[in-house]
Amino acid sequence: MRNPWLWALLVAGLTACNAEQSTLHVFGAEARAVRQMALVLTIGAVLIVAIMVALYVRAVRAPEGRLSHDGGMRMVLWLGAIGPTLILTALLIYALPAMRPRATAPGDLTIRVEGEQFWWRVAYDPASDLSPLSSANEVRIPVGRTVIFELTARDVIHSFWIPGLAGKMDMIPGRTNRLVVQAEKAGRYRGVCAEFCGLSHALMAFDVVAMDGADFDAWMARSRAASTGVTASRGARLFDAHGCGGCHAIRGTPHDADIGPDLSRFGERPTLGAGILPPTPANVAAFIRFPQDAKPGARMPAYPQISVADARAIADYLKGLK
Amino acid sequence: MTDRGKWHERLKVTLWTLIVPPAIWAGHFLMAYLWAAISCAKVGAFATFPTLFVVGTIIALTLIALSGWIAWKQTHRPGDSAPHQDSTDIDRLRFLAKSTLLLAGLSFVGVIFTALPVVFLRNCL
Ligand SMILES: [Cu+2]
């Protein structure tokens, strides 16, 4: 294979292997509608190009005198002005209904997500009388139910995008945008920040877990309770001593700050640092000492004074929180 | 020809009538924005069927079509054959009429494209 274009095409094809974060690998009704539309548009565009090429070939090959100027002008009028106008009008009518948000009912689950340099603050059912359930860097949604995302930000504009679920929606400080979705297939997926927001913008992702309704309800009920794994271990004492609780909350302890990600269920998180690293104890310990090594510009202070062993003890403690 | 058949020929296209179709388009555009803003502020939602808006759109389309039709009639004034590029009254009229006709076509489509989202979308957020 000496043709570089063929290689480029093959490499581009590899992106299709990604099933977690892809507009082509859909798991939600909204993304399905968008994919369907993209398919129709692509086929239509290819057809139009093919017709145009056929007309060019015909015009070039036509023997002298076979084509009249008047005929050419009529063709320009119909294929150049009237035809495209009709096609665009039809496409507009075809596409507009997809912009209507899904209808919601009072009982639908609301999840509030705030983008922040460079992580996500998540609150389930924020208006509920039950103790509100907060989390970070991971969004869980029940399959087959309507979910309302309330999206906002505190610092700069971010954009909330779960490619397999729905289109993206901006998170704007001082404003709450609504994104209504419905997942169709359980599984683990990935979302990203889709609006440049600072140094680690490209390292601002999150995990998405679509669960069956019953599993989700059980998870919600379990998560409203105190974290399991809260102990009086050395790691817990170090966590207190270094003032981590000034920014991080852990349910079942006095720490309830919300300046940094909620760590109540850190042991369940599939990734570390907003979707960027596997949450191995070693990675967590390294992140605690030098967050900026993993994420330039991260808003958590570095703790070079914490020894590797102590950081590891804290990491083990945090990994035990479920 | 009767007098009635000639009224559109007595109405001479000028630089002022040339801007009628785009001006109607602009007015309709403004109406779409005002209508959405007022509905959302006062009612909190778009009307199920925006009658007032549809009537306004039909009026806009009719006016644009009318000025386009007048212009079309005037481009077809009998006379010498093309090209019409001298600085004579009749050539100037034909030029202005043709421009008005094209602008009317554009404005007609513009009004439809502005109106469709208003008719299809329902939510204010
Ligand atoms: Cu961001």
Q: Which of A36-40, A185-189, B42-46 has the lowest mean pLDDT?
A: B42-46
d(Cα B31, Cα B18) in Å, to the nearest integer?
21
Contact present, A162 and A208 (Cβ < 8 Å): yes
SS3 A117: coil
With vertex at residue A189, the alpha carbon angle to CA A188 and CA A190, rounded to the nearest 5 degrees, is 140
* pLDDT of the residue at A1: 55
* pLDDT of the residue at B3: 47
d(Cα B62, Cα B41) in Å, to the nearest integer?
30
The region that residue B93 occupies, defined by phi over 0 for left and psi between -120 and 50 for alpha, beta otherwise, is: alpha
Percent of chain A with pLDDT over 90: 51
Q: Hey, is the C-beta of B102 within 8 angstroms of any chain A C-beta?
A: no
Full-model pTM: 0.82
The partner residue sitting opposite A177, judged by closest CB among B117, B122, B125, is B125
d(Cα B22, Cα A322) in Å, to the nearest integer?
64
Task: Give the number of other CB atoms < 10 A from CB of residue A193.
Answer: 29
Segment A187-202 shows an average pLDDT of 93
* pLDDT of the residue at A209: 93
Per the prediction, chain A carries an average pLDDT of 88
* pLDDT of the residue at A35: 92
Distances, alpha carbon A33 to alpha carbons A54, A102, A219, B75, B77, in Å: 32, 12, 29, 47, 52
Burial class (CB in 10 A: 0-12, 13-18, 19+), A237: middle
Secondary structure element (H or E) that encloses residue A142, with its range = strand A138-142
Contact present, A120 and A113 (Cβ < 8 Å): yes
Residue B7: pLDDT band with limits 50, 70, 90: low
Instruction: State the amino acid at position A214 in one-letter form.
Output: A
d(Cα A124, Cα A190) in Å, to the nearest integer?
18
d(CA A249, ligand 1 centre) in Å: 22
B121–A100 CB contact, under 8 Å:
yes
Closest CA to A138 of A13, A279, A26: A279
Q: Where are the beta strands (DSSP E) in B30-71?
A: none
Contact present, B108 and B59 (Cβ < 8 Å): no
Q: Which residues of chain B make contact with A101, given a CB cutoff of 8 A?
A: 123, 125
Segment B8-36 shows an average pLDDT of 85
Secondary structure element (H or E) that encloses residue A292, with its range = helix A291-294
Q: Is 80 exceeded by the pLDDT of residue A2?
A: no
Q: Is 60 exceeded by the pLDDT of residue B1?
A: no
The partner residue sitting opposite A96, judged by closest CB among B109, B117, B125, is B117
Q: Distance, in angstroms, between B121 CA and closest chain A CA?
A: 6
d(CA A263, ligand 1 centre) in Å: 20
* pLDDT of the residue at B125: 60
* pLDDT of the residue at B48: 62
Rg (CA), chain B: 19
Contact present, A212 and A284 (Cβ < 8 Å): no
What residues in chain A have their Cβ under 8 A from chain B's Cβ atoms? Answer: 81, 85, 88-89, 92-93, 96-97, 99-101, 177-178
φ, ψ for residue A209 (rounded to 5)?
A: -120, 115
* pLDDT of the residue at B2: 46
Q: Which residue has the higher pLDDT, B73 or A90?
A: A90
* pLDDT of the residue at A25: 86
* pLDDT of the residue at A15: 58
Q: Answer yes or no: is the ipTM higher than 0.95.
A: no
d(Cα A66, Cα A15) in Å, to the nearest integer?
49
* pLDDT of the residue at B9: 64
Cβ-based contacts under 8 A for chains A and B? 27
Percent of chain B with pLDDT over 70: 83
d(CA B110, ligand 1 centre) in Å: 36
Q: Which of A152-156, A314-318, B32-36 has the lowest mean pLDDT?
A: B32-36
Q: Is 70 exceeded by the pLDDT of residue A216?
A: yes
B116–A93 CB contact, under 8 Å:
yes
d(Cα A226, Cα B8) in Å, to the nearest integer?
82
